[in-house]
């Protein structure tokens, strides 16, 4: 039997413990980070939202100066602020921002730490806070799965991984009003490849 999903408090507490070990794996110059420049086409005055920002070194650091990171973990937000970034603690399913607030959104290795039953709510919230036509660049799961990994990153902490699968993710994005531009596999700093999607808000 697979491990049952972790509740959000357990995921939050795990990220508080994993903030530093995870930050050590981040490379702000990795090939998936390069997609920000090639696909988002942001100006220095634009304001982007980085969902699951962590310490900010990987994705938020590559976004325009006025961008904001959101993370469930208090400790991750502290690390991002210590590095000079704007970071807000909160849930992707209930974003603490006004409608039409952002010119782009990124979600690298983030949404699949939310139970897949709630992914539709995440994408609806992202659509709400993005300006019309604004892009979302996100990591997605390749297959349908939900599990808890024990001893993640060589620690004694556990972490939830939950995905409805790539095709279902595209359906959820479209149901939220997004137009999906592409979905493809991109190299990542863990030495493998990860599926990503580019979609535009309604």
Closest CA to 72 of 106, 114, 102, 105: 114
Give the chain's mean pLDDT: 90
Residue 3 reports pLDDT greater than 50: no
Query: For the CA atoms of 72, 139, 6, 71, what is the dihedral angle to 10 degrees?
Result: 0
Query: For the CA atoms of 63, 77, 57, 163, what is the dihedral angle to 10 degrees?
Result: -80
For position 66, what pLDDT does the model report?
97
For position 27, what pLDDT does the model report?
63
pLDDT digit string, tens, across residues 97-128: 999 999 999 999 999 999 999 999 999 999 99
Q: Map out the domains of the chain with their CATH numbers.
A: 8-22+45-200 (3.40.50.150)
For position 168, what pLDDT does the model report?
97
**CA dist., res. 165 & res. 170, Å (int):** 9
- Does this model's pTM top 0.95? no
Query: Locate tokens 């690298």: which residue?
Result: 108
């Amino acid at each position: 039997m697979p491990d049952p999903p972790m509740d959000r408090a357990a995921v939050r507490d795990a990220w508080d413990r994993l903030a530093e070990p995870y930050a050590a794996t981040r490379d702000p110059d990795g090939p998936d980070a390069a997609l920000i420049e090639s696909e988002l086409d942001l100006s220095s005055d634009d304001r982007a939202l980085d969902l699951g920002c962590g310490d900010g070194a990987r994705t938020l650091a590559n976004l325009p100066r006025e961008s904001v990171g959101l993370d469930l973990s208090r400790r991750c937000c502290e690390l991002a602020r210590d590095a000079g970034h704007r970071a807000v603690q909160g849930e992707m399913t209930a974003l603490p921002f006004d409608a039409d607030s952002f010119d782009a959104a990124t979600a690298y290795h983030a949404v699949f730490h939310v139970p897949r039953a709630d992914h539709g709510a995440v994408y609806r919230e992202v659509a709400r806070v993005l300006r019309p036509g604004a892009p979302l660049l996100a990591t997605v799961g390749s297959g349908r799965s939900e599990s808890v990994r024990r001893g993640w990153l060589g620690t004694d902490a556990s972490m939830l991984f939950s995905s409805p699968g790539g095709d279902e993710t595209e359906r959820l994005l479209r149901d939220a009003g997004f137009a999906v531009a592409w979905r493809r596999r991109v190299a990542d700093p863990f030495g493998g490849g990860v599926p990503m999607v580019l979609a535009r808000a309604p």
